[in-house]
Amino acid sequence: MSLYLEYLAEIESRKNDLGLAPKPIDSADLLSEIIAQIKDTGNQYREDSLKFFIYNTLPGTTSAAGVKAQFLKEIILGQEAVAEITAEFAFELLSHMKGGPSIEALLDLALGDDAAVSAPAADVLKTQVFLYDADTARLEAAYKAGNAVAKDLLESYAQAEFFTKLPEVQEKVQVVTYIAGVGDISTDLLSPGHQSHSRADRELHGQCMITPEAQQEIVALQEQHPGKKVMLVAEKGTMGVGSSRMSGVNNVALWAGEQASPYVPFINIAPVVAGTNGIAPIFLTTVDVTGGIGLDLKNWVKKVDSDGNVVTDANGDPVLEEAYSVATGTVLTIDTKAKKLYNGDNELSDVSSAFTPQKMEFMKAGGSYAVTFGKKLQTFAAETLGVEAPAVYALAKEVSHEGQGLTAVEKIFNRNAVGVASDAPLHAGSDVRVKVNIVGSQDTTGPMTCQELEAMAASTISTSVDGAFQSGCHTASVWDSKAKANTPKLMAFMNAFGVITARDPKGVYHSMTDVIHKVLNDITIDDRAIIIGGDSHTRMSKGVAFGADSGTVAIALATGESAMPIPESVKVTFKGSMASHMDFRDVVHATQAQMLKQFGGENVFQGRIIEVHIGTLLADQAFTFTDWSAEMKAKASICISNNETLIQSIELAKSRIQIMINKGMDNEAGMLAGLIKLADERIAGIKSGEEPALAPDDNAKYYAEVEIDLDAIAEPMIADPDVNNEDVSKRYTHDVIRPVSYYNGKPVDLGFVGSCMVHKGDMQIIAQMLRNLEKQNGTIEFKAPLVVAPPTYNIVDELKAEGDWDILQKYAGFVFDDDAPKGEARTKYDNILYLERPGCNLCMGNQEKAEPGDTVIATSTRLFQGRVVADTAEKKGESLLGSTPLVVLSTVLGRFPTLAEYTAAVEGIDLTRFAPPTEEMTTKYTAQAVPVKVV
């Protein structure tokens, strides 16, 4: 059967089984067959082949795009004739192909000798921004050789006419509201984790947004209000909390945005989203990628009494009252010039934060990528011509306060700033481009990152990136048909792109399913680094790490840069001492609870950097804090360590990078070896005193300062989804932190120790607890299932070498086998210990899940409804989060333990050696503390 007939069979299957349109074409072989049928004027499939060629072929660097660009070039040159595709139309089609092969074809035409062809080709090129080194090198060489068209192109680029000639942003945007949910809306609602396998198939994945009923309600609103955009709203909550998913914004844009190009299927842009408490930082970055609008509504406010005091409910939480209504179907007007939200003539709210000069540029250009590449192209052209580039784009916002010291994040941004005009240190509020040192891509968003790289015509990783890793952890649990179809293709693409990959397409080294955050934490070897990762838990304990969408990851890989504002910081310090039976996870949960109490329920962490003065805690354990900061709704977190601890953490990272090298994971460029060299340089700088461990200045300015009292933490602390709270907006928020005594024997149906929140020490704690319980009771019987998934293979190897794996295996009823991995997800659990393959496992909810309606106690991170455990008609599923020892004991007992039972079970176990630093972890302020680095 021909490829085309196979494609027709797939089209029929998609239509009949799923109600979907034909899948976009990315295969050169298939498109070549389609082109052959177009050339054959009598072919029975010619009419449909024309439609597929014109309207259903993916642009960028897909192999199909290469074939399409070549055929269009032949039509323009008169080498091929297609009645339906004139030369003018061929140029129009090339203009919508973004870059890569299309730019190569246009340059061939523009720099040729035929003026009738070169002039229109140059006109199209003047609208393009996705040019790479090979393209700009051709232009530069032609210009220096005296080519007039090359000179004309460079002059246009230097003036940034590809941007200035675009239409201005619409002044009045009319929207009709749709309440997508009450309370915080997670990206899991917009793009569920269990549907991650379909994210690269945009139309198919779009079917999983919220519910089919919600999708039809959105369609109905569009039909009732032609010319108006549907604005999705998180009522009494924040829009887009949790995971960093481009697929979430893609789904919103698919249902409520605009088609980016009539010739590119299912690529929609410019959605409008809103939340009572605004948009989560990571999600807002993703909205910017599409040139969309994200509004902070503030339509519910704290109620105050006649004396101006905040009124609270029985739980001590502030009572909210409605300032104005955004009920579904409300027609509102966004004035992008006045930066106000109106209902008719009635002004409702100032929304200026959504319309900064930078965000307006994203909207005008159709997304942030075009602005990033446009600035780069303008700079190149001006430098080549030897002229000064005019100030077309909004200048980088450079905020500097004389006499004010720098926080840790301000120092990192100053060190990595790119193209900054000022010599003065930059403070929070500045908006700058920065060099990205480490980049991570994970496997359920990775296929989309590949698509983004293809769409922006990138073919190799930027040489300025120090380290990059593609994981296989989110699909590690079950090696099913979906994983087999997606993962090898992803790994092959990323490996060829220059990224270190968990799986070797050549089969030289053992496939790794290590949790991405653990790997990134190890390959980050500089406390002054900036890390970008395709997951909200990209929050390293060295440097500052930002969870990002798949598109921002693609930009970081392709350019080695990212643009973002310098966030404000909240300083966290500790006093007192930890009780011996407390785990560091309890400190992390208590930090959130004590912060909320100190600030009257206001989450001062939201959208800011948490600068935690952790002192002597090694990177592995400190990561437990930074990782959880995603659930605190913080933008990122920074650990302030002393010199000795930082050196130990870097040495540990070096040893683990060396293991990766020994396994054969380094690439031809020697990326991993380069990281070890950089680590040695960093250690030398610390030891010499020339570059000590990162610390803020003693007069740095913070949004808030929080001091955590360790003496007040007397029993294990649990994050509770509070699934039965009468106020639906307060469910699944992570803000409900309770002591174990609150649960007083509550039954437990399943326990899970795993995800990025655990490290080697947690595995050792399990082994020690089993020995304790065996000694106390003679044997161990689990009254509830216990699933254990170590984060990395290194940890498993070390546990085997040290003997702890033996007792884990002794009580395990299931042990993972890489030679025969599970082919399907478990649906029922026995009351045994399951030793699972390293990876995310239950935390992701896309493969393994608890039984519906279960009460789960887990070390993982997510409280999302339906993520770890689905509801039943009789009982809501609960995923309560706690420490490793609490999880283990709860499964042995089949219920939550008493404090006495818990302290007996952990007796003699060194849970966490953490004490607040005794010295002040700051540096003395000098006006030139951190010079701005202009790259």
Residues 357-377 have pLDDT tens digits of 999 999 999 999 899 899 989
CA distance 343 to 330: 8
Give me the torsion for CA of 732, 734, 739, 744, rounded to 10°: 10
| pLDDT the model gives residue 87 | 96
**935 has a pLDDT exceeding 80:** no
Beta bridge partner(s), residue 880: 857
Residue 481: other Cβ atoms inside 10 A: 11
| pLDDT the model gives residue 931 | 43
Match 């039965």 to its residue by tokens.
724
Share of the chain above pLDDT 90, in %: 73
Q: Which tens digit of pLDDT belongs to each residue from 180-207? A: 999 999 888 999 877 888 888 899 999 9
- Give the pairing type, strands 239-241 and 185-186: parallel
**Mean pLDDT for all residues in the chain:** 92
Burial 440-456 (b: 16+ CB within 10 A, else e): bbbbbbbbbbbbbbbbb
**339 has a pLDDT exceeding 90:** yes
| pLDDT the model gives residue 928 | 59
Q: What average pLDDT does range 834-844 have in this prediction?
A: 91
Residue in 165, 559, 164, 152 with CA at minimum distance from that of residue 385: 152
| pLDDT the model gives residue 1 | 65
**660 has a pLDDT exceeding 60:** yes
Q: What is the largest CA-CA distance in the chain?
A: 91
Beta bridge partner(s), residue 751: 786, 857
**933 has a pLDDT exceeding 70:** no
| pLDDT the model gives residue 932 | 43
**500 has a pLDDT exceeding 90:** yes
Q: Is 416 helix (H, G, I), strand (E, B) or coil?
A: helix
- Give the pairing type, strands 229-235 and 340-343: unpaired
| Element (DSSP H or E) covering residue 641 | strand 636-641
Beta bridge partner(s), residue 229: 175
Query: Which residue has better confidence, 75 or 843?
Result: 75
**657 has a pLDDT exceeding 70:** yes
CA distance 550 to 908: 45
Tokens describing residue 205: 């994945």
| pLDDT the model gives residue 929 | 43
| Confidence band, pLDDT 50/70/90 cuts, at residue 934 | very low
| pLDDT the model gives residue 244 | 64
Q: Which tens digit of pLDDT belongs to each residue from 290-307? A: 999 999 999 998 888 888
Query: Which residue has better confidence, 96 or 99?
Result: 96
CA distance 546 to 413: 13
Share of the chain above pLDDT 70, in %: 99
| Confidence band, pLDDT 50/70/90 cuts, at residue 419 | confident
Q: Which tens digit of pLDDT belongs to each residue from 393-411? A: 987 788 999 999 999 999 9
Each as own residue / partner, the long-range contacts of residues 111-118 (CB below 8 Å, 24 or more positions apart, any chain) are 111/138, 111/142, 111/147, 111/149, 111/150, 114/77, 117/76, 117/77, 117/87, 118/149
Residue in 117, 128, 122 with CA at minimum distance from that of residue 150: 122
| pLDDT the model gives residue 832 | 96
| pLDDT the model gives residue 249 | 92
If DSSP states are collapsed to H, E and C, what string results for 678-735? HHHHHHHHHHHCCCCCCCCECCECCCEEEEEEHHHCCCCEEECCCCCCCCHHHCCCCC
Q: What average pLDDT does range 93-122 have in this prediction?
A: 94
Q: Which tens digit of pLDDT belongs to each residue from 425-451? A: 999 999 888 999 999 999 888 888 998
Q: Is 554 helix (H, G, I), strand (E, B) or coil?
A: helix
Q: What average pLDDT does range 256-264 have in this prediction?
A: 95
CA distance 237 to 283: 14
| pLDDT the model gives residue 282 | 78
| pLDDT the model gives residue 49 | 96
CA distance 587 to 713: 7
Match 């040495």 to its residue by tokens.
651
Q: Which tens digit of pLDDT belongs to each residue from 536-563? A: 788 889 999 998 888 889 999 999 988 8
- Running DSSP on this structure, what letter comes out for residue 15? I
Q: What average pLDDT does range 800-807 have in this prediction?
A: 94
Cβ burial, residue 853 (10 Å; 0-12/13-18/19+)? middle
| Confidence band, pLDDT 50/70/90 cuts, at residue 491 | very high
CA distance 333 to 323: 17
| Element (DSSP H or E) covering residue 182 | strand 172-182
Q: Which tens digit of pLDDT belongs to each residue from 476-488? A: 889 888 888 889 9
**921 has a pLDDT exceeding 50:** yes
Residues 6+ apart with CB under 8 A from 593: 717, 737
Q: What average pLDDT does range 695-714 have in this prediction?
A: 96
**801 has a pLDDT exceeding 90:** yes
| pLDDT the model gives residue 247 | 87
- Running DSSP on this structure, what letter comes out for residue 171? S
CA distance 552 to 420: 21
Angle between helices 550-559 and 246-256 (to 10 degrees): 120
CA distance 235 to 242: 17
Beta bridge partner(s), residue 679: none
Match 């179809």 to its residue by tokens.
485
| pLDDT the model gives residue 651 | 96
